[in-house]
Amino acid sequence: MAENNSNNNTGNTRSNAKFRKGLDIFLFLLPAILLFVGILIAPIAVSLYRSFQKWNGFTPGTFIGFKNYTDLFTSGSLHFVPALKNALIIAFFSVFVQLPFSLFLALLLGRKYKGERFFLTVYFMPVLISTVVIGQLWLKIYNPDYGILNRALMAVGLESWTHVWVGDPKTALGSVVVPTVWQYIGYHMLLMYAGVKGVSPDLREAAMLDGATNWQVDRYVVIPIIKPIIRTSVIFAVTGSLKSYDLIRIITNAGPTHKTEVPSTLLEDMLFLRNRYGMGSTISVMLIILCFAFALAITAVFKDKE
């Protein structure tokens, strides 16, 4: 196709070839642009536009300025503030429980214990399992009558601790946080482990010869080197928590009485239960803003520390 152009008459060749190249670039990019703009960018623009409207999805919307945004934070019946709080609680446990434990495992496995490959492979397994399956399994574990958790408590004589885990407002959020944190420990561990393995053995050896213990080597040599990976993990953990949906839908279904609502479950309710498409769009936009804001803030925090 393009090669034919080189034989054209000399006068038009240059501009012709330039046009041809531009066209080729456009054609190469076309499928990706169609998908990306059609499914992501244009809908986001529409969401942004609709987020300023009162709109039920069928009739034309009416423009109401920032009312949806202010309602989100002031109207108690929307449950957005508690939902955001729940998402941030999940984010907190991800960053301060999940990631330190992942790092700890990655550092241990980086020391070449026997069976390193086996442990690595097993620890990563939960990541591959669909969250719906994980949710179903944990439901069976939490089941008040037949679940393993209550049975185990009874077996060791702690009958007073047995509980309707998912149904009790006090423990409902916790019963979602535990599987969420557990499932992705292996994921962050794998990323960090790759970083630990990337640290040159010479560096490690030099530090050991200077009399550093394993923990000191990890603290002063390995961790500073894998900082960019830790930053990536923190960003993934926080944005992932803001987006959480699957396990909540399956385990608690946002209940009891909205106690475990998160922004994504609210978003779905706005579409299917309340016909408030304008407000649904507002929640989408808030989620994008929050994800980008947290990603930037985390990057900034890590820069400061350097």
Instruction: Please list every residue from 266 through 305 that binds other proteins, using CB under 8 A.
Output: 267-268, 271-272, 277, 280-281, 283-285, 287-288, 291-292, 295
Least distance from other proteins to the Cβ atom of residue 46, Å: 4
Q: Is 103 or 105 the residue whose CB approaches other proteins more closely?
A: 105
Q: Which is nearer to other proteins, 96 or 113 (CB)?
A: 113
Spatial contact of 194 and 124, defined as CB atoms under 8 Å apart: no
Q: Does 203 bind other proteins (CB under 8 A)?
A: no
Dihedral sign for Cα 163, 166, 170, 171, please: positive
Paired with 54 in beta bridges are: 62
**Which of 83, 105, 149, 251 touches other proteins (CB under 8 A)?**
105
User: Which one-letter amino acid corresponds to residue 112?
Assistant: K
The Cα–Cα gap between 172 and 208 comes to 47
Q: Which of 190, 222, 237, 251 binds other proteins (CB under 8 A)?
A: 190
**One residue of 52, 142, 165, 187 binding other proteins per CB under 8 A:** 187
Q: Residue 224 in contact with residue 198, Cβ under 8 Å?
A: no
Which listed range, 68-76, 84-92, 169-177, 244-252, lies at the site for other proteins (CB under 8 A)? 244-252
The token pair at 252 is 């608690």
Q: Find the binder of other proteins among 12, 81, 122, 161 (CB under 8 A).
A: 122
Q: Give the C-alpha separation, 213 to 219, whole Å.
A: 10
Task: Give the residue, chosen from 237, 250, 251, 254, that forms a contact with other proteins under the rule CB under 8 A.
Answer: 250
- Contact set for other proteins, span 135-154 (CB under 8 A): 136-137, 139-141, 145-146, 148, 151
- Compute the distance between CA of residue 265 and CA of residue 280 in angstroms, rounded to an integer: 10
CB of 62 vs other proteins, minimal distance in Å: 16
Interaction pattern, residues 215-234, with other proteins; x per rule: CB under 8 A: --------------x--x--
Among 124, 223, 225, 227, binds other proteins (CB under 8 A): 124
Element (H, E) at 63: strand 62-63
- Residues binding other proteins: what is the number (CB under 8 A)? 97
Rg (CA), the chain: 26
Closest CA to 84 of 201, 258, 300: 258
Residues 62-101 that bind other proteins (CB under 8 A): none
| Span near other proteins by CB under 8 A; candidates 63-71, 72-80, 81-89, 241-249 | 241-249
Q: Does 118 bind other proteins (CB under 8 A)?
A: yes
How far separated are the first and last CA of the chain, in Å rounded? 52
Interface with other proteins includes 249 (CB under 8 A)?
A: yes
In whole angstroms, what is the distance from residue 143 CA to residue 149 CA? 8
Taking the complex as a whole, how short is the minimal distance between the CB of residue 65 and other proteins, in angstroms? 19
Site residues (CB under 8 A) for other proteins, limited to 15-44: 21-22, 24-25, 28-29, 31-33, 35-36, 38-40, 42-44
* Dihedral angle of Cα 66, 70, 71, 76, to the nearest 10 degrees: 170
3-state secondary structure at position 79: coil
Of 258, 252, 124, 277, nearest in space to 186 by CA: 124
